[in-house]
């Protein structure tokens, strides 16, 4: 089930800024993220989300992981 409704509206970024990427508070809105699912035979599957463009120094500190069963669908939270 794919939906774009949860994506930030980049066009609605602060009108004072010509390019939202120039503002540290709005730059996250246009950053692409990757969701990777790891399957394990002896443990719950795990989903890790991280910035697509993270460099080697940033990657170890800029991610979030959750085990299967600890997250819910977007539709369930609406």
**Close Cβ partners of 13 (under 8 Å, ≥ 6 residues apart):** 20, 23, 26, 29
Q: What is the mean pLDDT of residues 10-32?
A: 59
pTM for the full model? Answer: 0.53
The string of pLDDT tens digits covering residues 20-30 is 556 666 666 67
Domain ranges of the chain: 32-69
For 48, phi then psi, to 5°, come to -120, 130
């Amino acid at each position: 089930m794919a939906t774009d409704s949860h994506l930030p509206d980049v066009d609605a970024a602060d009108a004072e800024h010509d390019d939202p990427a120039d503002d540290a508070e709005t730059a996250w809105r246009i950053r692409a993220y990757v969701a990777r699912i790891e399957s394990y035979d002896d443990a719950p599957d795990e989903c890790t989300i991280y910035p697509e463009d993270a460099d080697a120094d940033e990657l170890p500190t800029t991610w979030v992981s959750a085990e299967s069963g600890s997250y819910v669908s977007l539709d369930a939270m609406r």
